[in-house]
Amino acid sequence: MIKLVVVTIFIFSMLLPLPITESSSTYAEMGEQCYLEKDYETSVKCFDKAIELDPENTCSLEYLGKYSMENRNLDMAEIYFGRLIELEPENKCALKSLGEIHLSQEEYDKALYYYNKLLEIDNSVGKTWFYKGICLKMLGNYDESVEAFDKSTGDYETLVLIWNDLGYCYYQNGEYDKAIACFDKAVIQDECYYDAIYNKGISCYKSKKYSCAISFFEKALDLNNSNPYCYFYKADSLKSLGEYEKAVLNYKKAIELDSKNPVFWSGLGLSYNYLNEYNSSIQSYEKAVELNPKDDISWSNLGYLHYKTKKYNESIFCFEKALDLNSNNKYAWNGLGNSYLLLKNYEKALMCYEKAIEIDPLYNEPKISKSSISK
């Protein structure tokens, strides 16, 4: 009998260390010690026992929350930290962790709530301002986001993110020069930081600094040549500089990576048009309207190409499709008028020119065509 008792006590001791005095605080202390020694299995058992004895043991709730976070069990972590906040509304660990949980789940309004609470307690922590800035940026509050990022500080990695995200906010506000300056600072921190390099290229493109944009898109492609938009924006920049053959090559690269994007096909079609390769241009625009039949601009451009190749019935069809989608497309009305003019249907041509002029009284081309009919 004595041997049986000894064996039973030994087995139980292997499952959970027995404190001299069984109390919630004692189990919590043991759990903390085991946690620091990285004996997580035993520490969790101790914390569970502590909470069993006292559901309001804040030390155990905090460590169980941390353990759940480290094991990516965010639902349990939220439960533990939520209970902790109820007991200690200003517990920084719980507020910070709940902010991180909601941020990772893209619940930006909830995350922002906890970061604001943290800043009410201590507004000197740069990383809290940084995460607040992220939430505001994702919620579209770019002005407030800029203010939060301005107050951010952090380690090497965080600084790169801060400058990149701050640049993004300026970009969204249309302040492209400020955005470029921020992306530059991110690149200074990490010269191979793809996002900042690509974003600077986009900002240069938007501010019509096409040569600068091209150089940064080329740097971005050296780091990652799988982004079709990088090729597309490089192609569009080349097209804007009149380098149509190079533009065609880059549009084709973009299409190789994403053949279902009608914008890429439209860009290719326009470049072929400038090269006077009308058949290739028509094929590109036909693909564009196949992928997006509701794009009145592509239908209108396809109409002009058929007009240039003297296929007037086809051009009329395309212009009418464009006008069904957007009756205020002055270029489609003008092109439709030109098509009817060459078919010698002067009455319809006049009506089309008058409609184009009504939409834009400063549009000269239909005025000239209309006056030639009058003569």
Residue 345: strand, helix, or coil: coil
d(CA 258, CA 279): 22
pLDDT(11) > 70: no
Helices (H) and strands (E) in the chain, counts: 22, 0
Across 5-9, 73-77, 83-87, 250-254, the highest mean pLDDT is recorded for: 250-254
Q: pLDDT value at position 159?
A: 65
Q: What is the average pLDDT across 245-270?
A: 97
Burial class (CB in 10 A: 0-12, 13-18, 19+), 38: exposed
Hey, CA dihedral for 261, 265, 270, 271, is it positive or negative?
A: positive
- Type and span of the H or E element at 238: helix 228-240
Q: pLDDT value at position 304?
A: 95
What is the four-CA torsion angle of 312, 315, 317, 319, rounded to 10 degrees? -130
Q: Which residues contact 337 (CB under 8 A, 6 or more apart)?
A: 348, 349, 350, 351, 352, 353, 356, 366, 369, 370
Q: Encode pLDDT of 298-353 as tens digits.
A: 999 999 999 999 999 999 999 999 999 999 999 999 999 999 999 999 999 999 99
pLDDT above 70 as % of the chain: 91
- Type and span of the H or E element at 284: helix 278-291
pLDDT(370) > 90: no
Q: Encode pLDDT of 84-135 as tens digits.
A: 889 989 998 888 899 888 988 889 899 999 999 999 998 887 778 888 888 9
Q: What does the angle CA 311 – CA 314 – CA 319 come to, to the nearest 5 degrees?
A: 120
Lowest mean pLDDT among 167-171, 207-211, 276-280, 330-334: 167-171
pLDDT(156) > 50: no
Q: What is the average pLDDT across 253-263?
A: 96
Percent helix, strand and coil across the chain, each rounded to 5? 80, 0, 20
All domains of the chain in start order, with CATH: 23-88 (1.25.40.10), 302-374 (1.25.40.10)
Q: pLDDT value at position 36?
A: 79
How does the average pLDDT of the chain come out, rounded? Answer: 86
Q: Encode pLDDT of 191-243 as tens digits.
A: 888 998 999 999 999 999 999 999 999 999 999 999 999 999 999 999 999 99
Q: pLDDT value at position 154?
A: 55
- Contact in structure between 77 and 97 (CB atoms under 8 Å): yes
Q: Residues 64-73: contacts with CB within 8 Å, 24+ apart?
A: 65/93, 65/94, 65/97, 66/93, 66/97, 67/35, 67/40, 67/43, 69/97, 69/100, 69/101
